[in-house]
């Protein structure tokens, strides 16, 4: 089967890497891809949000499965357009993708399904939002309703900080139209984890969990980013907790979406806060996380392509997902200045030495090749140095040995990924 992966980041490199090992695969494309993905897939110069062009390409090439990496093409209707062309798409329809595309919609679905989540309110008027903040007090959470590339959430420690977030999102529109509406939530306390489930519209199977490190600075300081590192499995996600999450959160939402006529197929990513009263839903994403996907793919032992096809075809009831007992950890190397302004074009050396570290796989997130063949940085998050080990400590040590083998003066990373768990 021919497969087209949509996207060009570290998540998509990990997906291509896993799919390339499938005995079912005959040819693998990635649009637009990156310099690392080019080693395992044929990169196609089509943007991830160019839905008509993507479907036209898939039709011409006889692609049997389109795999959506990021959320934007799904909210733009990639799965719907593929269905109209008679092509399977691993990912939800635009109607079901609203679980990520609108935080207010997600909260409404969660309430209808009886899912435990934080108290919340939606605002289209900044004055009303400020009045609510003053009445509620801090700490409090302000979220842009729409897609903001993982940067539209502010956990405000003071009312003044929360009011600044409202001004940034609703008045100065730092996230564009995504911040025209905001969701304001109570601030929950506890460890945060990423929980993934494979869904076929009716049946959901738990995937492995991970813990992301969202803030740019060590000790979880500084602004939120798309993710500076992750590890899997988190020790706090026990078998009992996994079943509780499936029973109280994932399956009720799957049933509610089906009741609404928008059955969810693909990966449902639940961001959870493990409070003293039990797990609470923070958000849903409708795709694999980044960098969580990298940590998951190196642990997956089932054939990824077969699993995706089972989700597309409504055949998960009898599917068995197998995982390695190994631990995994990914350290993101980012360009200095990220998540703010950063420079591109810095030459990266030493990847061969990094990949020579036992258990290490380096995934490319934002790289390109110059005409002279040199590998250069071409994004904010640039590399995901991923390692496996018999213990999390072993995986962590291997990942940082590989990081230290890479020469890129313009880059930086957090040095505390997985430190608390170890």
The predicted pLDDT at position 294 comes to 98
pLDDT on residue 223: 86
pLDDT of residue 322: 94
Q: Residue 363: is it exposed, middle or buried by C-beta count within 10 angstroms (0-12/13-18/19+)?
A: buried
Residue 256, classed as helix, strand or coil, is: helix
Please tell me the pTM assigned to this model. 0.94
Cα–Cα distance for residue pair 349/398, rounded to 1 Å? 18
**Is the bond preceding residue 359 a cis peptide, omega within 30 degrees?**
no
Omega cis (within 30) before 161: no
Helix spans in 121-270 (H): 126-136, 159-166, 239-245, 251-259
The pLDDT assigned to 119 comes to: 93
The confidence score (pLDDT) of residue 205 equals: 96
pLDDT value for 233: 97
Q: Identify the structural domains of the chain with CATH numbers, from first to last.
A: 2-93 (3.40.50.20), 125-180 (3.30.1490.20), 190-312 (3.30.470.20), 327-412 (3.90.600.10)
* pLDDT reported for residue 343: 93
Position of tokens 């930086």? 412
What is the Cα–Cα distance from 200 to 220, expressed in whole angstroms? 35
Alpha-carbon distance of 413 to 310, in angstroms, equals 37
The DSSP 8-state label assigned to residue 195 in this structure reads E
Tokens of 279: 């797990």
What pLDDT digit, counting tens, does each position of 180-215 carry?
999 999 999 999 999 999 999 999 999 999 999 999
The strand pairing partners of 360, in sequence order, are 387
Which pLDDT belongs to residue 151?
75
- Whether the Cβ atoms of residue 9 and residue 365 lie closer than 8 Å to each other: yes
Do the bridges between strand 27-32 and strand 42-43 make them parallel or antiparallel, or are there none, so unpaired?
A: parallel
> Quick one: three-class SS letters along 277-325?
CEEEEEEEECCCCCCHHHHHHCCECCCHHHHHHHHHCCCCCCCCCCECC
217 phi and psi, to 5 degrees?
-105, 155
What span, in angstroms and rounded, lies between the C-alpha atoms of 75 and 146?
10
* pLDDT of amino acid 152: 85
- The answer to whether residues 86 and 248 touch, using CB atoms and an 8 Å cutoff, is no
Q: Where are the alpha helices (DSSP H) in 196-303?
A: 239-245, 251-259, 292-297
Evaluated on CA atoms 18, 19, 24, 26, the torsion sign reads: negative
Pick from 319, 310, 320: which is nearest to 88 by CA? 310
Give the contacts of 159 (CB within 8 A, at least 6 positions apart): 133, 134, 137, 138, 140
What is d(CA 67, CA 50) in angstroms, rounded to the nearest whole number?
Answer: 14
Low-confidence spans in the chain with pLDDT less than 50: none
């Amino acid at each position: 089967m021919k497969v087209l992966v949509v996207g060009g980041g570290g998540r998509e490199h990990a997906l291509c890497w896993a799919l390339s090992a499938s005995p079912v695969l005959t040819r693998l494309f990635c649009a637009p891809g990156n310099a690392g993905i080019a080693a395992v897939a044929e990169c196609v110069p089509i943007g991830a949000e160019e839905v008509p062009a993507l479907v036209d390409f898939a039709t011409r090439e006889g692609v049997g499965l389109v795999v959506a990496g990021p959320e934007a093409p799904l909210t733009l209707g990639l799965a719907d357009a593929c269905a109209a062309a008679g092509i399977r798409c691993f990912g939800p329809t635009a109607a079901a993708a609203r679980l990520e595309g609108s935080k207010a919609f997600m909260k409404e679905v969660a309430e209808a399904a009886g899912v435990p989540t934080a108290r919340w309110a939606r605002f289209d008027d900044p004055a009303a939002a400020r009045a609510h903040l003053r009445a509620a007090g801090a700490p409090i959470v302000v979220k842009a309703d729409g897609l903001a590339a993982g940067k539209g959430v502010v956990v405000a420690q003071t009312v003044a900080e929360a009011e600044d977030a409202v001004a940034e999102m609703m008045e100065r529109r730092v996230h564009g139209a995504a911040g025209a509406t905001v969701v304001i939530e109570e601030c929950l306390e506890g460890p945060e984890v990423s929980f993934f489930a494979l869904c076929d519209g009716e049946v959901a199977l738990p995937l492995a969990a991970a813990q992301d490190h969202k803030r740019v600075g060590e000790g979880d300081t500084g602004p939120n980013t798309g993710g500076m590192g992750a590890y899997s499995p988190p020790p706090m996600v026990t078998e009992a907790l996994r079943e509780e999450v499936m029973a109280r959160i994932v399956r009720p939402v799957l049933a509610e979406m089906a009741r609404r006529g928008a059955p969810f197929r693909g990966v449902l990513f639940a961001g959870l806060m493990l409070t003293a009263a039990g797990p609470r839903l923070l958000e849903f994403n409708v795709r694999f996380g980044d960098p969580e996907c990298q940590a998951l793919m190196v642990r997956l032992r089932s054939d990824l392509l077969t699993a995706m096809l089972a989700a597309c075809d409504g055949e998960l009831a009898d599917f068995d997902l197998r995982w390695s007992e190994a631990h995994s950890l990914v350290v993101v190397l980012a360009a200095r200045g990220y998540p703010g302004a950063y420079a591109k074009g810095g030459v990266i050396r030493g990847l061969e030495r990094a990949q020579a570290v036992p258990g290490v796989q380096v995934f490319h997130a934002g790289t390109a090749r110059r005409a002279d063949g040199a590998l250069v940085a071409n994004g904010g998050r640039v590399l995901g140095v991923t390692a496996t080990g018999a213990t999390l400590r072993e995986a962590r040590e291997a990942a940082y040995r590989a990081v230290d083998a890479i020469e890129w003066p313009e880059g930086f990373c957090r040095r505390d990924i997985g430190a608390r768990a170890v």
